[in-house]
Structure 1
Amino acid sequence: MDVSEIIIPGDTPGTEWRLPVLRFKGRDPKAPKIYIQAALHAGEVPGTALLHFLCERLRRAEDQDRILGGITLVPQANPIGAAQSHFGDLQGRFDLGSRTNFNRDFPLISIADRATLIEELDDYPATDRLKRQLLHMALGADLVLDLHCDDESLQYAYIDEAFWPEASDLAAALDMEAVLLSDGESSAFEEAVGFAWKYEIPGERRSMLPGKLSVTVELRGKRDVDPALAKRDADGLWRFLTARGIVSDEPVAPAAFAGPAAPLDNVEIIRAPEGGAVLFHRTIGDRVVEGQCLATIITRPGQVDGSIDLQAPQDGLILTRTSDRLVRRRGDLMKIVCAGPSKTSREAGTLES
């Protein structure tokens, strides 16, 4: 295993950030190359734990000459966000300087222009340098996994329709309970990777990308970080690497992916109409029917008509839930995956900011 560091100068004198990169060299030039990063949102660390245990298996495989395809791992992809705290709370999702989500505003370029990402880096602030170098590394691979997690959540993934259903093997290997089929219309990391491949010939868009994969994996919730889960997820990812011919091992065929694969338009986001204390009647993994009570918000405690009940707009599977119990007006409470489209209009791109 080769360990190196990318040094990112800070935007003020005397500061810099160090980005460790772990690489395993493949012995078969025809085997796929894979890039995996975790904790781009710095407080989301289930993927960091997964990669820690996966590396144990990869080192053993390396000693036995069983690494076929090149593997690049970035277990802590955002040292800038990891250093941001506000009154003791980690602020790893948004850059405090620019107020930009660390998983937005990645450059949308053609793969033909990959080299330009790391040219004249001194012209860019630290957060942009970080994003450009992460994207540059990812575009050197065939398969790209960006490991995140939600708040309280089942295991699921955002997968561009250009990679589906080929990517169902990943969904099965990681025991995902749902897949959200994205439209590739945002500047998030995994969609910037897909954009570069789709526009390999500038101005000409490819709708299918066989042999390629760029996915955001949501590894349950923020608190789902323990050795048993991390080892189980590492085993699942190992099965995927074996099936795709990146490592050599006895193949174990995972069960077929059985969860829903729904477009983003079929996701109902339940929001708080007013602020208050939220009392949930249903939790993640529950299947609900239209009209079923999901939550009560106590808006004016002790007063007549001091609470609001929220009902399911249609049948579906509760995929995520907020861990907050004091919520703001229009705050997101739940995501429900449904068979039909939501009546709430949605702009192209991601579900949330």
Structure 2
Amino acid sequence: MDTTEIIIPGDTPGIEWRLPVLHFKGSDPHAPRIYIQAALHANELPGTALLHFLCRKLRAAEDAGRIASDITIVPQANPIGAAQSHFGELQGRFDLGSRTNFNRDFPLISLRDRDTLVEDLDRYPATDRLKRQLIHMALGADLVLDLHCDDESLQYAYIDEAFWPEAADLASALSMDALLLSDGESSAFEEAVGFAWKYEVPGEKRSRLPGKLSVTVELRGRRDVYPDMASADADGVFAFLAARGAVRDSAPLGAFTGPAVPLDNIEMIRTPVAGTLLFHRDIGETVAAGDLLATIVARPGMADGETEIRAPQAGLIVTRTSDRLVRRRADLMKIACDEPSTALRKAGTLED
């Protein structure tokens, strides 16, 4: 394993950010090239823990001569966000300077323009330099995993329909509970990678991308950072790499049996009022239309102080918030359903 470091100058005097990048050199030039990063949202650490254990397995495979692919790993992809502490709490999702989500506004380019991403970097603020260098590395690969987590959550992933059902092997390897299928048209990291592949020939969109994969993996919730979980997830990613020919290993994969649901079929449950949140249902439960999901105590002690929130249709509860004092219109749950939601929402990602 070789280690390099990308240095990102800060936007104020005396500041710079260092981004370690780990490299494993493959022996087969025809094997798929791999790029994996974690903690783009700097306070989402299950992926960082996973990659720590995965690198241990990859070093052993390297010593045994079993690595076929060139593999690039960035265990902590956002040193800028990791330094943002506000009143003692890490703020790793949004850049405090620009108020931009670290996983939005990636450049949407054609693959043939990849090298322009790192030209004249001095023109850009630190956050844009970071984004440009991350996506530049990813576009040198064939299989791209962006490791995130949700708040309280099952194991699931966002997968562009262009990679489905080929990506079922990843879902199987990581024992995912659900897949959310998208059209890949936002500016989030994994969709910007897919965009560059789809529009490799400008003006001509490819609808299928065989042999390619760019995916956001949601590794349960933010507090699910435990050695046994991380080690098991690392085993899963290693098995996926073996199935794709990146490492020489005979670990078999079973079939993915969970739901694969279009984003249009996700019910984003939001709070109609502010107040104290009382959940009646948990992640992993299947609910029927009309089931009581939660109660909001907006006016404690008053006879009319409660507001009930019920399921708009049947489905699987994939995520829920860890907050218990919620603002009006806060995101409460994601429910994966068989039918499209009737709720109005803007196109693109489910959350800001």
- Specify if TM > 0.5: yes
Whether 1:325 aligns to 2:324 is yes
Structure 1 CA distance, aligned partners of 2:266 and 2:345? 10
1:84 match? 84
- The 8 Å contact of residues 8 and 129 in structure 2, kept in 1 or not, is answered as yes
Report what 2:291 is aligned to.
292
**Correspondence for 1:312:** 311
Q: Work out the number of aligned pairs and report it.
A: 352
Instruction: Give 1:195's aligned residue.
Output: 195
Structure 2 counterparts to residues 26-105 of structure 1, below 5 A? 26-105=26-105
Residue 217 in structure 1 maps to residue 213 in structure 2: no
Q: Separation in 2 of the partners of 1:125 and 1:159? A: 30
User: How far has the Cα of 1:346 moved from its partner?
Assistant: 2.9
Q: Does the Cα contact within 8 Å between 2:243 and 2:253 map onto a contact in 1?
A: no
Within-5 A mapping of 1:227-306: 227-250=227-250, 252-306=251-305
Kept in 2: contact 1:24–1:72 (CA 8 A) = yes
- Aligned equivalent of 1:173: 173
> CA shift at 1:254, angstroms?
1.9
**Gaps spanning 5+ residues in structure 1: where?**
none
Are the counterparts in 1 of residues 186 and 192 from structure 2 also a CA contact under 8 Å? Answer: yes
Q: Does 1:207 align with 2:183?
A: no
d(CA) in 1 for partners of 2:186, 2:215: 13
Residue identity over aligned pairs, in percent, reads 75
**One-letter amino acid of the counterpart of residue 320, structure 2:** R
Contact 2:271–2:331 (Cα < 8 Å) also in 1: yes
Cα distance in 1 between the residues matched to 2:214 and 2:85: 30
The Cα shift of 1:249 comes to 1.3
Aligned AA (1:130):
L
Paired letter, 2:3:
V
What SS does the corresponding residue of 2:215 show, helix, strand or coil?
strand
Shift of 1:345: 2.2
Structure 2: gaps of 5 or more residues:
none
Does structure 1 conserve the Cα–Cα contact (< 8 Å) formed by 2:143 and 2:214? yes
CA distance in 1, matches of 2:278, 2:31: 51
Tell me what 2:350 maps to.
351
RMSD of the alignment, in Å?
0.5
SS of alignment partner, residue 54 of structure 1: helix
CA distance in 1, matches of 2:290, 2:60: 53
2:334 is the counterpart of 1:335: yes
Query: For 1:227-280, what per-residue CA distance to the aligned partner results, in whole angstroms no more than 9, with x for missing partners?
Result: 000000000011101000000112x22221111100000000111100000100
Residue 16 (structure 2) aligns with = 16
- Paired residues of 1:265 and 1:346 also in contact (CA < 8 A): no
Q: Is the 8 A contact 1:51 1:234 kept in 2?
A: yes
Alpha-carbon distance in 1 for matches of 2:92, 2:11: 18
TM-score (norm 1): 0.99
Task: State the TM-score, normalizing by the size of structure 2.
Answer: 0.99
Higher alpha-carbon deviation: 212-221 or 300-309: 300-309
Distance in 1 of aligned mates of 2:198 and 2:325 = 43
What is aligned with 1:146? 146
Task: Note the C-alpha offset of 1:348.
Answer: 2.1
Deviations 1:170-216 (A, max 9, x none): 00000000000011111000000000000000011000000000000
Match of 1:160 in 2: 160
